[in-house]
Amino acid sequence: MRIAVIGAGAMGEALLSGWIASGVAPTDIAIVDAYPPRVVELEERHGVTGVDLAAAAGQAETLVLAVKPYQMDAILAELAGHLHDDALVVSIAAGVSLDRLQKALPGVSVVRVMPNTPALVGKGMAGIVPGAEASAAQVDRVQELLDAVGRSIITDEAHLDALTALSGSGPAYLFYVAEAMIEGGVHQGLTRPEATALVNQTFVGAAAMLAESGRSATVLREMVTSPAGTTAAALRSLDDHGVRAAFLDAVQACARRGAEMATE
C-alpha cells in the first residue's frame, strides 16, 4: 500500500483523484473513512480500496491525514504505537501544529501540508512544512506527491496560516466572486447558463494570463481598463464598496482563524 488517505472528504478525494489522473495506480491508494457509504462511493468512482486504520498504519508508506481538525486527536491516538517503522505521516489539517502532531506520534516522521482543491484538476498549490523527524528523502517524496497534482513550496510553520489564507482557502474566494458575477449577469438579463459560461471562461482566460503572460496582476488589469471606459466604471464601483479592503480583511480573518484553531 503506497498511500493511505485517512478521511476521504472533499480534500482527501481531490488529492487522490489528482494522483490517479497523474498516473498513480488506484490499487496503490487506500482510504479510511468513518462513513461506510462514502468508502463505497470512492471505491466505485476511483477504484481505490477501503481499509481500516490499523491496516493503513501497519502497511501504508505514506499516510495522509485529511480529517477535520477536531477529529485529528482521535486519529492520532489510534495511530500512536501502531505505525510501522518507516511510516511517513502527512497532515493536511488547518490549525494542527507540527508540535501537536509530533507529541502524539513521538519518533515518527511527520510533515505538515496545506494543499488546495484545484489538486483535483492537477492545478493545486501546496505549502509543505517538514517535521524534525522527516528525512530529506521523505520530504522529497511529499513534494513529488504534491507536484504531481500541481505545485508546492517548502515553507516554515510561521507562514502556514498566511499561506492558508491565500492558496488553501483562496479557491473559495474566487468561486464566491464567480458566483457574484454570474448573479450580476442574470440581473442584466442574461440567462443563468449564458452568464455561467461567460464567467467561467473569463476565469480560465484570466488565470492563464496570470500564469503564462509573465505580467503582474496590476499590468493585466491596466490592459483591460481603457481611459474613461466601462472597466474603469466597474472598478470605481468596487473601490466605492470597499472590495479591496474586504479582501485584505478576509485574508487576515482566515489567517487569524488558522491560528485560533491551533489553540482549540
Ligand X SMILES: NC(=O)C1=CN([C@@H]2O[C@H](COP(=O)(O)OP(=O)(O)OC[C@H]3O[C@@H](n4cnc5c(N)ncnc54)[C@H](OP(=O)(O)O)[C@@H]3O)[C@@H](O)[C@H]2O)C=CC1
Measured over the CA atoms of residue 8, residue 5, residue 109 and residue 19, the dihedral's sign is negative
Check residue 168 for interaction with ligand A1CAB (CB under 6 A).
yes
* 66 labelled ligand-binding: yes
Task: Out of 164, 182, 195, 199, point to the residue binding ligand A1CAB (CB under 6 A).
Answer: 164
Grid cell for residue 174: 474566487
Region from 67-75, 97-105, 142-150, 187-195 binding ligand X, contact rule CB under 6 A = 67-75
Query: Pattern 74-103, binding to ligand A1CAB, x per CB under 6 A?
Result: --------------------x---------
Residue 20 binds what, of ligand X, ligand A1CAB, none (CB under 5 to 8 Å, by partner type)? Answer: none
CA distance 60 to 157: 26
Task: Out of 3, 4, 8, 182, point to the residue binding ligand X (CB under 6 A).
Answer: 8
Question: Are 41 and 14 within 8 A, CB to CB?
Answer: no
CA distance 229 to 262: 47
Check residue 118 for interaction with ligand A1CAB (CB under 6 A).
no
Task: Out of 62, 109, 143, 169, point to the residue binding ligand A1CAB (CB under 6 A).
Answer: 169
At its nearest, how many Å lie between ligand A1CAB and the CB of residue 20?
A: 22
CA distance 216 to 98: 34
Task: Out of 3, 12, 46, 163, point to the residue binding ligand X (CB under 6 A).
Answer: 12
Alpha helices in 69-216 (DSSP H): 72-79, 98-104, 136-147, 160-163, 170-187, 192-212
CA distance 196 to 258: 32
With a CB cutoff of 8 Å and minimum separation 6, the contacts of 52 are 32
Ranges within 18-47 binding ligand X (CB under 6 A): 32-35, 38
**How, if at all, do strands 109-114 and 124-130 pair?**
antiparallel
Region from 83-91, 138-146, 162-170, 198-206 binding ligand A1CAB, contact rule CB under 6 A = 162-170
| Helix (H) / strand (E) containing 91 | strand 88-91
* 9 labelled ligand-binding: yes
Residue 35 binds what, of ligand A1CAB, ligand X, none (CB under 5 to 8 Å, by partner type)? Answer: ligand X
**Which spans of this chain sit near ligand A1CAB (rule: CB under 6 A)?**
94, 164, 168-169
